Amino acid sequence: MSGTSLMVATSALVGFSLSTDKTYASMAFAAQLLATMLTSIPAAMLMARIGRKRAFQLAVLVAMLGATICTVAIIRHDFAFFVVGSILLGAFSGFANYYRFTVADSVDQEYKSRAISYVLAGGVLAAIIGPNLANLTRDVISGAAFAGSYAALNVLYILSFALLSFLKLPTKADQHAIPGQRSGRPLIEIMRQPRFIIAVVCGMLGFAVMSLVMTATPLAMHHHAHPFSDTSFVIQWHVLGMFAPSFFTGQLIHRFGLLPILLIGALCSLACVAINLAGTSVSHFWLALLLLGVGWNFLFIGSTTLLTEVYTSQERFKTQAINDFLVFSMVSAASLGAGIFQHLYGWRVVNYAALPALVIILICLGWLYRVNQAHLEQTEAG
């Protein structure tokens, strides 16, 4: 998460400086998210065969290679090479996203939302480490802004690899998840469930809105002549907003239910758009991105928790894989669109583009209310 927050703060700015066509300033970050999407299904298959721990460690080695390539690319002023490095970092994220599912699959149903929250709570440190690491190491390598930042990522990845060695997980393959072995219901049957559809749509569009606005923010702040120190400050608070609520999101879900928390998440994202449309001062960017982070947290943890209700232990790998594939397909498109919309049409259009997705989320939440009511009536009748 620290690496991701660093890239959020720097990737579009590096892309802007390296690319000849500034329209594609956010292409590297979009390529990273696209790689995350394309890795999600192979990652699940590999974890099923060699175990999650070994797969996680292998992914960290890929991340180290990606960070090194990004460093060299910035020094050589090679935009295409920077995109290649970002793709490898995205492939690592395709594996790392399964941390939340790993813990969810290790606890009883009543603890799943809290377990997911505690894993994501690690992002609180990421909010401090990532942007500040970018700021402190920005000019370490002379004449290559942010090259030192990507080199510093390898320190984080070495620590990550070392910590993973203490993780106690089964190393044998999960035979239920290997193609050709018994693996529960057909995937299409799982995907037809209303709760699956709602979980995917809320996770997919909630994450896409966050990615769209977040990726465009450094470019918008640069356009409005705000210094990078202010951008780093805004991104730091945004990442805090993303992860600090994780200390209590699980408890809120347990106490009030999924639907109210998902609704609050959608409303926070709407408030973000409204504030961004109201002004472009540092205060506007700060408050809007903070609310955007909180909205993402509630929508992401809520949708992940809802997803865990639709599959059995035999079905978990394939269900988790298709969920992340769909989520990050939309997120990568949103990230690429952020640079295009910001460069061609400006900051206001970026925010207007987020509104249809938020309306769809609200419609899905209305559907979830009806599904819950129907289930309650069936339970009472039974």
Nearest to 327 by CA among 343, 352, 342, 306: 306
> Do residues 59 and 43 lie in contact, with contact meaning Cβ atoms separated by under 8 Å?
yes
Q: What's phi and psi for 37, nearest 5 deg? A: -60, -50
Q: Write the CA distances from 147 to 47, 91, 257, integer angstroms.
A: 33, 20, 45
Check the CA dihedral 232-353-368-43 and report its sign.
negative
Q: Which amino acid is at 145?
A: A
Give the span between the Cα atoms of 71 and 141, in whole angstroms: 10
Residue ranges for the chain with pLDDT beneath 50: 172-181
d(CA 235, CA 222): 13
How far is it, in rounded angstroms, from Cα 381 to Cα 225?
A: 63
Amino acid identity, residue 240? Answer: L
Architecture of domain 2-165+183-381: Up-down Bundle (1.20)
CA distance 74 to 114: 40
Instruction: Map tokens 């603890």 to a residue.
Output: 111
Rounded CA-CA distance 59/213 in Å is 28
Cβ neighbours of residue 242 under 8 Å, at least 6 residues apart?
120, 123, 127, 210, 293, 294, 296, 297
Say which residue the tokens 């995917």 belong to.
Answer: 200
**What pLDDT sits at residue 181?**
47
pLDDT of 176 reads 44
Using an 8 Å Cβ cutoff, are 183 and 174 in contact? no
- Taking the C-alpha atoms of residue 55 and residue 179, their distance in angstroms, rounded to an integer, is 18
Distance CA 56, CA 98 (A): 9
pTM equals 0.77
Q: How many other CB atoms sit within 10 Å of the CB of residue 210?
A: 26
